[in-house]
Amino acid sequence: MQKVNIEEKLSLINDHWNPRIAGELNGQLVKLVKLKGEFTWHKHDNEDELFFVLKGNFKMELRDKTIILSENEFFIVPRGVEHRPVADEEVSVMLFEPASTVNTGNIENELPNIL
């Protein structure tokens, strides 16, 4: 058991769209990631996914609407919902998701496919 300093962990991340595991509880992973640019449209058939904005802001595009997320806000993408995060500027995000979640969901491409 040890505490985690989020700022310290984020300072070690120098790339985008590559989540790092910061903790685990009850089969859920706590991940830290920096986003910039557009991710790919994808969905997770079996997992919900929580995006908590630590620093900055970004858009979560859904097929029928766009959600703008700012610091200290979170959004849960339900399983099966196609989505695409878009960040015009770098944003730091904490993710909560089951350990089985692949960040590109049902899509295979050149983006990191981190478990």
pLDDT in tens, 57-104: 999 999 999 999 999 999 999 999 999 999 999 999 999 988 877 655
* CATH label of the domain that carries residue 65: 2.60.120.10
Mean predicted lDDT score pLDDT of the chain: 90
**pTM for the whole thing?**
0.85
Q: Which residue has the tokens 């910061």?
A: 22
Considering only CA atoms, which of 36, 9, 28, 8 is closest in space to residue 20? 9
Q: Where are the alpha helices (DSSP H) in 1-115?
A: 6-11
Q: 109, 39 in Cβ contact below 8 A?
A: no
49 in any annotated domain? yes
* Amino acid symbol at 17: W
25 in any annotated domain? yes
User: Is it the case that residue 40 has pLDDT exceeding 90?
Assistant: yes
Tell me which residue range forms the domain holding 68: 6-98
Residue 108 has a pLDDT of 56
103 in any annotated domain? no
Distance of CA 25 to the CA centre of its chain: 17
Question: Average pLDDT for residues 40-50, to the nearest whole number?
Answer: 93
Q: 97, 48 in Cβ contact below 8 A?
A: yes
